[in-house]
Structure 1
Amino acid sequence: MSENESRPVVVGFDGSPASLAALKWAVEDARRRGCSVDVISAWHVDYGVMIGPVPAEILLALSPQAMKETAQKALDAAVQGIEGVEIRPILVEGDPRAALTKASEDAELLVVGSRGHSTVVEVVLGSVSSYCVHHASCPVVVIREPKVKKEHALLAAAAPLTPGPLL
């Protein structure tokens, strides 16, 4: 990257609400900075454990080509309609932690979402956001999963309040 060329804001995207919030935040930040946004989505084949016969439809959906196509469609849908900033959707095969930290080497900023898993889940699965914070070559912003507005069931079911005792 030349000295005169601006570095992009890099954002990780996995289709989760937290990654959508991270994408929105990254686009707004890139507009302020006057730079582009690299939206990185990583996919990989993970068959896990399958016991017993598996329907053909499921096997086809788990093929590497089908998984890649599904990831590409989700990435394309996420960046569709974003205006006012140059967007580069990038689909890579492999571990998202490695892809994002590699992209951070030429980035102005790395933005990732955090799903807010429990400590036990983070230990078992690992955390992409935590890994990026510790290994990225640029500053990292972690966007928490947006809170869903919930009406308090007790208040919704309660009778209307009155200004004092009813006589």
Structure 2
Amino acid sequence: MSEKESRPVVVGVDGSAAAQEALRWAVEDARRRGSRVDAISAWHPDYGIVIGPVPAEIGMRISPEAMRSAQQSVLDRAVEGLEGVEIRRVLVEGDPRTILTDASKDAELLVVGSRGHGPLAEAILGSVSSYCVHHASCPVVVIREPKAEKERPVAEAAAPLTPGPLL
């Protein structure tokens, strides 16, 4: 990459609300920087949950072609309506953690969403955002999933929380 060519802002896109917020944030940041956005969506077949014979209609939905097509649709919908910067759509087969950290080598910034699954789910599933923070070659911004606004009764909001009986 030449010195005159600006480095992209890379963002992970997986269809989640957190990833959509990360994409919006990345577009705004790239607009300020005058660079493009590389919206990267990774997919990979995971047959670990399939045990025994599978009906043909289910087998067709989990074929690599169907998964790739579904992920391409997710990526296309995510970038719809976003303007102001060049957005390059990148669909890659592989583990999102390694795909994003590899892309960070030529990036100005890596932006990822975080669903905030909690410690147990992250221990079992692994956290893409945590992996990127620890292994990326550029600065990383983690955008949390937006909290749904819901009204709580006044009594519930005012109730004190205690860890147990106080002695």
Distance in structure 2 (CA, Å) of the matches to 1:52 and 1:7: 47
What does residue 42 of structure 2 align with?
42
Distance in structure 1 (CA, Å) of the matches to 2:112 and 2:66: 25
C-alpha deviation, 1:51, in angstroms: 3.2
- Which amino acid in 1 is paired with 2:133? V
Q: What SS class does the counterpart of residue 77 from structure 2 fall into? A: helix
Matches within 5 A, 1:99-110: 99-110=99-110
Aligned residue pairs total 155
Q: For structure 1, which segment, 45-54 or 73-82, has the greater mean C-alpha deviation from structure 2 after superposition?
A: 45-54
What does residue 87 of structure 1 align with?
87
Identity of aligned residues (%): 71
- Which amino acid in 2 is paired with 1:138? C
What does residue 163 of structure 1 align with?
none
CA deviation vs aligned residue, 1:68-106 (integer Å, no higher than 9, x gap): 000001101111221110000100000001110010000
What does residue 164 of structure 1 align with?
none
Q: What SS class does the counterpart of residue 39 from structure 1 fall into? A: strand
Distance 1:65 1:152, change over 3 A: same
C-alpha deviation, 1:120, in angstroms: 1.1
TM-score, structure 2 normalization: 0.89
What does residue 121 of structure 1 align with?
121
- Which amino acid in 1 is paired with 2:94? G
Distance in structure 2 (CA, Å) of the matches to 1:49 and 1:83: 39
Moved over 3 A (4+): none
Alignment RMSD: 1.2
C-alpha deviation, 1:154, in angstroms: 6.1
Unaligned runs of 5+ in 2: 156-167
The reply to whether residue 5 of structure 1 matches residue 29 of structure 2 is no
Distance in structure 1 (CA, Å) of the matches to 2:52 and 2:42: 29
C-alpha deviation, 1:54, in angstroms: 2.5
- Which amino acid in 2 is paired with 1:90? V
TM-score, structure 1 normalization: 0.89
Distance 1:86 1:152, change over 3 A: same
Unaligned runs of 5+ in 1: 156-167
